Amino acid sequence: MRGRLVELSARGATAALTTAAELVLEAQRAAEPVAWVVPWSLDTRTATFYPPDVADSGIDLAALVVVRAPSTIAAARAAERLLRSGAFGLVVLDFASVDLESNRAQRLPDQVLGRLVSLAQSHDAVVVCLTDKTQEAGSLGSLVSLRAEAMRLRSSSGSGDFEVTIRALKDKRRGPGWSKRSKARGPAGLG
């Protein structure tokens, strides 16, 4: 996925955060520095990044840079600076708590997405944007190389396990329609 702008989205029973955490863990195991950028203000609905759950998934919080920005544009600019440094192999832009569909002021302009793609390509990095939207909604923009829907289904065993399905809605390299299934364990208390 290096050099790509990726969008992980879903609405309802999603696994976008779980999938993003798996990508962070994979990057950390490969000794790649990772940053997680969250637009945060009193206006946002909820926060999706919860450090105890992320740590419980095996992620080293001491090695994870977390940036809180006052808006989506500020978050994208922070991601640009992180990528421009050449120090990060993965930058996650967590827009899951932002209503990008109905709030035009929160949308990212094409030139911002273009800079993120260019920086990801020139520094051999990955930019992953988490969004909360249905599969029918459009992607963040035409520069998104891969848009996947991350869904979860609770295991019938009642053990807190889930089946995670990643389905490509848009993939400029492999074509859409492919899917990947895996098992995941929910955070403590979800069983």
Q: Which percentage of the chain shows pLDDT scores above 90?
A: 44
Q: What is the pLDDT of residue 96?
A: 84
Q: What is the pLDDT of residue 190?
A: 45
105-110: average pLDDT: 74
Structure tokens at 8: 């992980």
- Most confident by average pLDDT, 64-68, 156-160, 181-185: 64-68
18-38: average pLDDT: 94
> Residue 3 pairs with which residues in a beta bridge?
none
- In the chain the domains, ranked by start, together with CATH numbers, are 4-145 (3.40.50.300)
- Weakest mean pLDDT among 22-26, 48-52, 100-104: 100-104
Q: Rounded distance, CA 17 to CA 14, Å?
A: 8
H or E segment and range at residue 17: helix 16-29
Length of the chain: 191
Q: What is the pLDDT of residue 14?
A: 76
Residue that is written with structure tokens 């029973």 in the block:
13
Q: What is the pLDDT of residue 25?
A: 94
Q: Which of 145, 155, 158 is nearest to 118 (CA)?
A: 145
Tell me: the pLDDT tens digits for 137-172? 888 888 999 999 988 876 666 566 778 888 888 989
Q: Rounded distance, CA 144 to CA 128, Å?
A: 10
Could you tell me the CA-to-CA distances from 110 to 102, 116, 159 in Å, in that order?
A: 17, 10, 44
| Chain centroid to CA 184 | 17
Q: What is the pLDDT of residue 84?
A: 96
> Residue 165 pairs with which residues in a beta bridge?
151, 181
Q: What is the pLDDT of residue 155?
A: 63
In this predicted structure, the answer to whether residue 173 has a pLDDT above a threshold of 60 is yes
Q: Rounded distance, CA 4 to CA 121, Å?
A: 7
